[in-house]
Amino acid sequence: MKLLLIRFSSVGDVVLTTPLVRALRDALPDAVIHFATRPPYAPLLESNPWIDRVLTLPGSDAAALRDFAATLRRERYDRILDLHGTLRARALRLLVPTPRWSRYPKATLRRWAMVRLRHRPDPARVVPVAERYFGAARDLGVRPDGRPPEVFPTPRAVEQAHDALRAAGFADGETFVAFAPGARHATKCWPEDRWIDLGRALARDGIRSVLLGGPEDAPLAHRIAAEVPGAASLAGALDLLASAAVLARADRLVSGDTGVMHLATAVGTPVVALFGPTVRGFGFFPYADNATILERDLPCRPCSTHGGAACPLGHHDCLRGIRTEEVLHAIGTRRPVG
């Protein structure tokens, strides 16, 4: 059997597909498994031993989509699993006839109801997105094994991480806590002064911090690192796999609801996740047993499905209400702040 999985973006969403990839390989050891994504996210999959080939959609215009469809037709897949459900993926369904396409339940209407009607599902009945993806393969005999996602840093990525940490003055085996203070949407960010308080409190316990993120997060990360003794910012300096290799060496990660959070779970690092405008009920929470979610039970949550540029009510209490002491407690230290 020849399978194609499609998930074009983003970091966390792609990482959360890997439990399904692993299950498919376990259930169908002789199958050929390909994965289609966008070029920025291909490194998350190219070193995955359960995937035979990663294909990338190089552009977003109609011509690029037609060329990509031609490539897929030549592959003659027996089955295509759409794990994205976007208009682009649906267009490919028309352009690439196969014996069968299947999709996963996106629960878009449920998320809409949670935002618009403040519907609060029973936490025990929330199905993680990583498990919802299995709905696209419901007839292939695969079941979630309960293990977290997987990302496999290459030897080159491990070396880059080692060199970056050494250049920042970190000794081999030194304990540190990773921070991911940035996010694509401003309302997902814990206030900058709280990150500084957290870093200073850890520093008083002799624990240094390393800040991670993409180029867009670098200014914020550099400002925080400049105010925290012994901290180092590697935001914008490392690619995805090298960042994953840094996370693999971290004692734990403190992060908002971002892709870095999922990257940490995929290398086995414990996570303290700070949720604000989004909620656990969406299903995009850390898919790992060694994760702690801190959030506030406010009547205005959730206010959006992905976050936004500013708090609709102007107070941002969902994240401002999470105190530094709570995060320290979740990390494992109760040292007072200040």
Query: So what's the pLDDT on residue 333?
Result: 55
- The whole-number pLDDT of residue 335 equals 42
At residue 235, what is the residue type? A
- Complete domains list, the chain, with CATH: 2-137 (3.40.50.2000), 155-331 (3.40.50.2000)
Tens of pLDDT, residues 143-184: 999 999 999 999 999 999 999 999 999 999 999 999 999 998
What is the structure's pLDDT at 121? Answer: 74
- CB-based burial label for 148 (10 Å; 0-12, 13-18, 19+): buried
* Preceding amide of 128 cis, omega within 30: no
Residue 227 contacts residue 220 (beta carbons within 8 Å): no
For residue 334, the model assigns a pLDDT of 43
Cα dihedral 124, 127, 130, 134, rounded to 10, equals 130
> CA angle at residue 114 from 182 to 184, to 5 degrees?
15
User: What is the rounded distance in angstroms from the CA atom of residue 315 to the CA atom of residue 193?
Assistant: 16
Report helix, strand and coil shares of the chain as percent, to nearest 5: 40, 15, 45
Closest Cα to residue 203, out of 225, 221, 228? 228
Per-residue confidence (pLDDT) for residue 336, from 0 to 100: 42
Query: pLDDT per residue over 239-267, tens digit each?
Result: 999 999 999 999 999 999 999 999 999 99
Q: For residue 55, what are the β-bridge partners? A: 36
pLDDT at res. 126: 86
Q: What is the pLDDT of residue 125?
A: 80
Give per-10-residue mean pLDDT for the chain (338 aa): 96 98 98 97 98 94 94 96 92 90 84 80 83 96 96 98 98 96 95 98 97 97 98 98 98 97 98 95 93 94 91 96 97 57
